[in-house]
Structure 1
Amino acid sequence: MNDLAFLSGLLSELKLAVPWGHIAAKAWGSLKGAPVLCLHGWLDNANSFDRLIPLLPQDFYYVAMDFGGHGLSSHYSPGLPYYHQDFVNEIRRVAAALKWNRFSLMGHSFGGAVGGMFSCVFPEMVDKLLLLDSVPLVLESSEVENVLTYRRRAMEHILQLEASNKPSNVVSPEEMLQGLLKNNSQVGEECGKLLLQRGTTQVATGLVLNRDRRIAWPELGFDFISRELFKKALQKLQARVLHVKASQGFTSVRKETKGNKDTIHFMIDTLQMILKERYQFVEVPGNHYVHMNDPHQVAKIISTFLLSDGAPAPGLPTTA
């Protein structure tokens, strides 16, 4: 890689070797700055942070990675499913490739859940954890009993794909965009185009998705945990946590049933009880993709948190 690509403020593309190929990433800021690894949501890619990171302090070094099977990263080897712990493992591999011993994690949606699990498994490596309309661990008491069903579906889905052996669908750019917007109503058109820039490849007759077709439904890859394990995991967490909730975000996506509301309240209360002054909760106007659709809503909050020392960041509430 050309050293000039790493000049402060310039964007560079990275390819980090892994046994099944490479993990793709893009970087901003100063190589000498404190590192921040940015983790996108399910079926998204590193372009998820294109509109936010330029608004943040540029004396940090931001690396936004594509999870395996997403964006420009290699797909997993044939025959293998994608499980939650595999994505946690990818963070560890990226940190090793970049020679990072301690860094901050910023994750949107699924990326926050993966980053949260990493922060509990490798607590000494994570300085700050920023959750953008996300949760640190996937706590779903009502889903725990379905985990075995999801595991079975994941394996059957792979077998079905292998048996069909269909080529990837080729569609026009407009069809691709409308399909994305139909399946994800909270992504605006401009942001949808941004995600497709990295999430598709141009062929002679149109566009094909880069995404691995084995990645179908998030529940097939999630590790749902009980309330007891949630508490025990958080007791391992050493990082300071900023939890940014969009008013029309995550809980709206998951449907605000009474059970989901109770789960969210339990999660926030437990985070506050265990982490105390290390946990800060902020609610902002916007939907699940507020960090893309309206990045100014969250940029100042994130900047203040990143620049703060061990004390609670001034101006940010510490309770829900």
Structure 2
Amino acid sequence: MGENVLPDLHYVAMDFGGHGLSSHYSPGVPYCHQNFVNEIRRVVAGGIVAGMFSCTFPEMVDKLVLLDSSPFVLDFHEVENLLTYKRRAIEYTLQVEASEKPSHVVSPEQMLQGLLKNNSHVSEKCGELLLQRGTTKVATGLLLNRDRRITLPELSLDFISKELFVHFIRKLQAHVLLIKAVHGYYDVRRENDADKEPFLFIIDMLKSTLKEQFQFVEVPGTHYVHMNEPQHVASIIGSFLQSKPRLPYQL
């Protein structure tokens, strides 16, 4: 999508550990978004990870673009289950590592249809693009690059409470653009997607905390609008990146 936004800028597209063309973590090393933040810090001076990075290293980020995402993941009603999620993640990781199940080779068409079946927001063209980095060609078909230890959201996401969310976003120094696809996701756990209360809370807090530093735009499309219909977001992002931040008024 970069050529549709500002072609003169330099863009870095990262595959986090266990994703795309990046290596898998060694046995016993958990997948969590804090590790992904570490990887960004190591490589350069994904939405949730970008938000975490911008709050952890606020002086390094001038502008933050969130595409159908949020800076952090809230667990609105189940804070008491956070330790349960962490335990489940550890136990699942150990289970997968112990199983040593061989990688499954399938034909390109089977791989594409499986991706489309499990991701209703992905178009066929978008699916083909995702599989270019998400698979490896072998003699008999395709191998999925994604580490099997990354499946359920609670296995890698760091859920936080409302109070922590408010505390964290107060650290932001960047100007923030949040683009919401009208038919996108509202919760990382799809079974809770009809509950928009956490997302509305996030928007309200970003508006009240960042004030003129925050811009919210809704666009038609699904979660993968930037790939399916990049024209819906390219001009918005381009204008945001080109705009000069307003300096805070000082007496």
TM-score (norm 2): 0.93
Shift in CA distance, 256/206, structure 1 to aligned 2, threshold 3 Å: closer
Check conservation: 1:143, 1:224, Cα contact below 8 A: no
The alpha carbon displacement at 1:249 in A equals 0.4
TM-score by length of 1: 0.74
Report how far residue 145 of structure 1 moved. 2.2
Structure 2 counterparts to residues 184-203 of structure 1, below 5 A: 184-203=119-138
Question: Could you report, residue by residue, the CA deviation over 1:37-76 in whole angstroms, capped at 9, with x for unpaired residues?
Answer: xxxxxxxxxxxxxxx1110112211111111110111111
For 1:56, the equivalent position in structure 2 comes to 5
Matched, 1:94 2:29: no
Tell me the residue number matched to 2:92: 157
SS of 1:116's equivalent in the other structure is helix
Number of residues of Structure 1 aligned to a counterpart in Structure 2: 245
Alignment deviations for residues 75-123 of structure 1 (CA, whole Å, 9 cap, x no partner)? 111222201211111111112xxxx3xxxxxxxxxx2111101111110
Equivalent-residue separation in structure 2 for 1:245 and 1:63 (angstroms): 22
Q: 1:98-177 counterparts in 2 under 5 A?
A: 100=45, 111-177=46-112
Higher helix proportion, which one? 2
1:203-222 superposed matches below 5 A: 203-222=138-157
Q: CA deviation at 1:163?
A: 2.2
Matching residue's letter, 1:64: A
Q: CA deviation at 1:235?
A: 0.8
Shift of 1:162: 2.3
Question: Equivalents in 2 of 1:73, 1:301: separation in Å?
Answer: 30
Calculate percent identity across the aligned residue pairs. Answer: 66
Pairs within 5 Å for 1:56-75: 56-75=5-24
Provide the secondary structure at the position in 2 that maps to 1:85: helix
Match of 1:282 among 217, 220, 245: 217
Question: 2:85 aligned with 1:85, yes or no?
Answer: no
Secondary structure of the structure 1 residue equivalent to 2:216: strand
Cα separation, 2, equivalents of 1:116 and 1:163: 34
Listed as ranges, the gaps of 5+ residues in structure 2 are: none
Q: Deviations along 1:173-197, whole A, 9 cap, x unmatched?
A: 1110111111111000111011101
Structure 1 residue aligned with 2:232: 297
The answer to which structure, 1 or 2, has the higher relative contact order (CA under 8 A, 6+ apart) is 2
Deviations 1:184-229 (A, max 9, x none): 1100011101110111111121111111111111221111111111
Equivalent residue letter for 2:67: L
2:27 maps to amino acid: P
Aligned match of 1:76 in 18, 25, 30? 25
- Runs of 4+ in structure 1 over 6 Å off: none
Relative to structure 1, the CA distance from residue 252 to residue 77 in structure 2 (aligned partners, 3 Å threshold; closer, same or farther) is: closer
Structure 1 stretches lacking a partner, 5+ long? 1-51, 101-110, 313-320
Structure (1/2) with the larger strand percentage:
1
Question: What is the alpha-carbon root mean square deviation over aligned residues?
Answer: 1.5
Of the three residues 153, 174, 178, the one matched with 2:113 is 178
Query: How far off is 1:144 after superposition?
Result: 2.3
- Quote the offset at 1:292 in angstroms: 0.5
Pairwise CA distance, 1:252: 7.5
CA contact (8 A) 1:200 1:210 kept: yes
Shift of 1:256: 4.1
Match of 1:249 among 178, 184, 189: 184
Distance in 1 of aligned mates of 2:75 and 2:100: 34
Using the alignment, how far apart are the partners of 1:140 and 1:283 within structure 2?
23
Q: Shift of the alpha carbon at 1:160?
A: 1.6
